[in-house]
Amino acid sequence: SGSDLAAALQRIDGRGYKAYKDIEGRWQMAAQQGGYCLCVDWVQGDPFASPSKCRVVLPAALAALPAQLVCSRTRRTAVCDYLTRSFGAAVAASGGDIRQQSGGWQGEKGGEMSVDKPGQHVLERTSVLILADGSVEARFTVALPARGRSVLGQWASSILLQNLPRYVHQGLQYAQQDRHALQCHVECVEDTQSLRDQLPALGLVSFLGDGSILPRKSGASDEPMAAAEAVPFRSPEALAVTVQLPNRGAVRGLGIRRGITLVVGGGFHGKSTVLEAIECGVYNKIPGDGRELIATDPCAVKIRAEDGRRVESVNISPFLSNLPFGKDTRCFQTPDASGSTSQAANIQEALEVGASTLLIDEDKVASNAMTRDARMLELVSGNREPITPFICKLPPLAALGVSCILVIGGSGQYFDVADTVICMDAYVPSDATAAARAISARHAGTGDRLPRHETYGDITPRTLASVHPRPVSAHGRDLRVKTRTLHCIQLDQEEELDLSAVEQLVEVSQTRAIADALVKLRGALAGRGGPWTGRPLTQVLDALEAEMDERGVDALAGRAKPGNLARPRRFELAAAVNRLRTAQLRQLA
Ligand code: ADP
Ligand code: MG
């Protein structure tokens, strides 16, 4: 019980730090102490190590979530996201238990309690879970306090037995929540999810609701631009669609149809901002984000050039052939791809694992991979140009059922293939399809028509043979994986996996989940003849997703009960594997 924990902390007070191991285990709090169970799952080895991992499990009767809030997966995800924020806020409001620290090696240190901190997106997380019996589990870390290297039992006791019950009460019990805010959070997420689910039936790949605030506060902040500065989004009549949402009712907005859509307009008129909003429309948002009514095909993938990346056994022949020195483009590999080869690999890899919409911004592509004008065609042609410009492949891609949304300010050649042209003018979209068609017709036969491609070419599936060449030892973690930032995973000392071009990764908690998935895959593949050995990469991703559907994001974790993971999409998981320099991928025969 709580008093047993108090006694244990008193007993080890002043002893060597290792004595904290005594408090590992489950402590059932009496009703007047909160009535929850505190699990100290793992105690750090010394005051400088990563903080100790704990959970509280609040029985259903105390969590007291109304049935209507937990009646669907989407609602449960939204509630867990909300409680993560409210638990985190309760901790932060009281300073997270950091004391005035006296500093220095011998001084007092530790005490911080922390809960994973979500951003603007509502994702499946491991920070707060609603268990099958309706109890609520919340995970957090505590830096167990020390003076020098000895236990500060009194302080630990005040954190775990005085402050924590207050955080649990304020942050996790339904009765203490702002019911209106929680209900709004859930309904907002449910509406966005419903919008996304309705896209296929409406023939759309993206929808941007009227009144949405697309621009962000700054390049460093994902929060909305201040209302006084931002021009709210409004669909032109010609492209407007009305959708019924379960909570909000009818909403009007711009519907981007399947097929080829261009976003054109002058520089600085808001084109990239539109595409960025579409990119993260694959995730649900918190109320007030400004993008709650923007939803995109969940299989939409941002494509960009990424010179310097590794490419392993990718068939890039739809875009490149006849490379100098006879380099094979049907099974292309390089430790250092160029702009155009990296872009081709990014496209092929996305299609390989099921992308159904490609998102492309002229600001981020290799211009030689996009188009070629009449004069250049006259000078360099036939076998001397290995690159097939992307524009030639757009109609065959559309025929395969893959849509494309492109931001293009510089080349009107794309008018020839576009189904819809949206023109941005001072952040206001208009329908420029008819005008673009007329221009295209007028210029027909003027010489810069590129050769038509009837078929797209091959997308060759690959298997993941191994994640890391070093054998997996029987015990212990033999591959040290550390998530440094949103876009960087460190593997051992050897490799920094650079994910900076993986733009639809939105939270470092997703990156941590990807890092865990790499370790899991490595283990699974190293055991010869394991279930995934020799399977196409796409089936491995199916299996990971199925496990997450069943067990949540915990399914990716090797360590016990992490509280700081969020669900990544299959495309970002694949992106990590594809960029990993130690991974072995082979084409299926
Ligand atoms: P483009 O890609 O057309 O050159 P951007 O999308 O990069 O333009 O936008 C240029 C600037 O305008 C950015 O600083 C962006 O934050 C701002 N901006 C974009 N959309 C809006 C809007 N709806 N209201 C106010 N500012 C916006
Ligand atoms: Mg731009």
Report which bound ligand comes closest to the CA of 364: 2
Q: How far is the CA of 269 from the centre of ligand 2 (A)?
A: 8
pLDDT digits (tens, 9 = 90+) for 333-343: 999 999 999 99
CA dist., res. 489 & res. 519, Å (int): 12
Q: Which atom of ligand 1 is closest in space to residue 216's alpha carbon?
A: 16
pTM of the model: 0.95
Inter-helix orientation angle 73-93/164-172, to 10°:
140
Higher pLDDT pick, 383 / 274: 274
Q: Return the minimum-mean-pLDDT range out of 107-111, 226-230, 476-480.
A: 476-480
543 and 532 Cβ atoms separated by less than 8 Å: yes
Q: How far is the CA of 147 from the centre of ligand 1 (A)?
A: 52
pLDDT of 101 higher than 70: no
Sort residue 142 into left (φ over 0), alpha (ψ -120 to 50) or beta.
Answer: beta
Q: How far is the CA of 42 from the centre of ligand 1 (A)?
A: 47
Atom 20 in ligand 1: which residue has the minimum CA distance?
A: 270
Phi, psi of 319 (to 5 degrees): -110, -20
Q: Which atom of ligand 1 is closest in space to residue 275's alpha carbon?
A: 6
Q: How far is the CA of 27 from the centre of ligand 2 (A)?
A: 55
Q: Which atom of ligand 1 is closest in space to residue 269's alpha carbon?
A: 3
* Spatial CA neighbour of 170 closest among 78, 225, 94: 94
Neighbours of ion ligand 2 (CB under 5 A): 272, 363
CA dist., res. 253 & res. 243, Å (int): 8
Q: How far is the CA of 223 from the centre of ligand 1 (A)?
A: 15
pLDDT at 472: 73
Q: How far is the CA of 343 from the centre of ligand 1 (A)?
A: 25
Report which bound ligand comes closest to the CA of 273: 1
Q: Which atom of ligand 1 is closest in space to residue 229's alpha carbon?
A: 25
pLDDT at 1: 79
Atom 25 in ligand 1: which residue has the minimum CA distance?
A: 230
Q: Which atom of ligand 1 is closest in space to residue 361's alpha carbon?
A: 2
Atom 10 in ligand 1: which residue has the minimum CA distance?
A: 268
Atom 7 in ligand 1: which residue has the minimum CA distance?
A: 272
Q: Which atom of ligand 1 is closest in space to residue 266's alpha carbon?
A: 3
Report which bound ligand comes closest to the CA of 221: 1
Q: How far is the CA of 208 from the centre of ligand 2 (A)?
A: 18
What tokens were used for 378?
């006259």
pLDDT at 476: 46
Query: Which residue intervals of 380-432 are DSSP H helices?
Result: 390-399
pLDDT of 271 higher than 60: yes
Read off the pLDDT of each residue in 2-7 and give the average, rounded to a whole number: 91
Q: How far is the CA of 119 from the centre of ligand 1 (A)?
A: 21
Dihedral angle over CA of 11, 14, 19, 20, nearest 10: 90
pLDDT of 380 higher than 80: no
Strand partners, 141: 53, 114
Ligand 1 is surrounded, with C-beta below 6 A, by 214-215, 225, 229-231, 265, 267-273, 427
Report which bound ligand comes closest to the CA of 270: 1
pLDDT of 387 higher than 90: no
Q: Return the minimum-mean-pLDDT range out of 278-282, 408-412, 510-514, 579-583.
A: 408-412
Q: Return the minimum-mean-pLDDT range out of 1-5, 90-94, 444-448.
A: 444-448
Q: How far is the CA of 273 from the centre of ligand 1 (A)?
A: 6
Q: Which atom of ligand 1 is closest in space to residue 427's alpha carbon?
A: 23
CA dist., res. 300 & res. 282, Å (int): 7
Q: Which atom of ligand 1 is closest in space to residue 267's alpha carbon?
A: 4
Atom 26 in ligand 1: which residue has the minimum CA distance?
A: 230
Query: Which residue intervals of 400-527 are DSSP H helices?
Result: 433-442, 508-526
If residue 89 lies in a helix (H) or strand (E), which one and from where to where? helix 73-93
Higher pLDDT pick, 35 / 468: 35
Report which bound ligand comes closest to the CA of 276: 1
pLDDT at 558: 77
CA dist., res. 424 & res. 431, Å (int): 9
CB neighbours (10 Å) of residue 32? 8
pLDDT digits (tens, 9 = 90+) for 113-136: 999 999 999 999 999 999 999 999
pLDDT of 103 higher than 60: no
Q: Which of 218, 235, 264, 268 to mutate to test the pocket of ligand 1 (most atoms within 8 A of CB)?
A: 268
Q: How far is the CA of 234 from the centre of ligand 1 (A)?
A: 15
**CB-count exposure of residue 50 (10 Å: 0-12, 13-18, 19+):** exposed
What tokens were used for 484?
């440094």
Q: How far is the CA of 6 from the centre of ligand 1 (A)?
A: 56
Atom 15 in ligand 1: which residue has the minimum CA distance?
A: 215
Confidence bin at 445 (pLDDT 50/70/90): confident
Q: How far is the CA of 235 from the centre of ligand 1 (A)?
A: 16
Atom 5 in ligand 1: which residue has the minimum CA distance?
A: 270
3-state secondary structure 192-206: HHHHHHHHHHHCEEE
pLDDT digits (tens, 9 = 90+) for 512-566: 999 999 999 988 887 666 778 888 999 999 999 999 999 999 999 976 789 999 9
Atom 23 in ligand 1: which residue has the minimum CA distance?
A: 231
Q: Which atom of ligand 1 is closest in space to residue 233's alpha carbon?
A: 23
Q: Which atom of ligand 1 is closest in space to residue 409's alpha carbon?
A: 3
Q: How far is the CA of 265 from the centre of ligand 2 (A)?
A: 10
Report which bound ligand comes closest to the CA of 274: 1
